[in-house]
Amino acid sequence: MVGGAILVEALERGHQVTAVSRNPSQLDQQDPSLTVISGDVTDPACVALLARDADAAITAVGGAAEGNPDVVVEAARTLLAAAGETRIFAVGGAGSLNHPAGGTVSSQPDFPDDWKPSSDAQARALEIYRTEGEGRDWTYLSPAHLLEPGERTGRYRTGEDTLLTDISGESRISTADYSVAVLDELESPRFRGRRFTVAW
C-alpha cells in the first residue's frame, strides 16, 4: 500500500525508479522511468548490487501480511551492512512514537493486539538504525496513527518522536501525503540520521 504510493509520487516528480519486489508481476511496468525487477531486501548481495548506482534505497517492506513482521528488522540490518554510501529511507511504524497521554502509541489500551507484532518489529528496526547506523545516511519515517489510502493534499505537519494529533485528538494521514513527505525529505533533507513523523 505505502510502497505503491511512494512509487507513484516518485514517478510523477520525474525520478528514475527501480522497483524491487519478490513478486514483480504485481507492478505495472508501463512507465518508461520505471524498471521492475525481482529481488529481496534481506539479501546482502542483491542490496549491494542495486544500491551501487542508486541515490537512495527506500524500504517499504512490511511482512505482516505474510506473517513475518521481523522482515523489517532483517531489512534494516541488511541495508546498513550492504548499501554502502547510498542513502537509506525506511518506511516505519507509529507504535514506537511517544503518545501525548504518556507511554508509547503501542502501549495505549486501544492499540489493536493484532498490530503489536508488526509494531514491535518496527521499533526494533528503528533501534538498529539508531545504534548501528552512526555515520550512515538514513532516515526513518513514522506515520500518523492512522495511515490509509486517500487524497493527495500536498500538506502535512512534521514532528520527531511524539505522535502528532489534531485539535480533536485524531492522528491521520493518507498514503499519498505520506509519500509526499518521503519525496520531500529525499529531495531536501532535514532529518538525516534520525526518525521523524508526519500527520495532517
92-141: pLDDT as tens digits? 999 999 999 999 999 999 999 999 999 999 999 999 999 999 999 999 99
Report the pLDDT averaged over residues 81-98.
Answer: 97
Distances (CA, A) of 171 to 94, 180, 182, 189, 193: 10, 17, 18, 24, 24
Per mean pLDDT, which range of 113-122, 152-161, 186-195 is the poorest? 113-122
**Nearby residues of 55 by Cβ (< 8 Å), 6 or more positions away:** 86, 87, 186
As for how many domains the chain has, the answer is 1
State pTM to two decimals: 0.94
- SS3 call for 192: coil
Dihedral of the alpha carbons of 73, 79, 82, 83, in degrees to the nearest 10: 180
| Interval 21-37: pLDDT, tens | 877 777 767 789 999 99
CATH of the domain at 167: 3.40.50.720
Note the helical H segments in the chain. 2-12, 44-51, 71-82, 116-132, 175-187
Q: Which domain holds residue 63?
A: 2-199
The three-point CA angle 36-39-40 to 5° equals 140
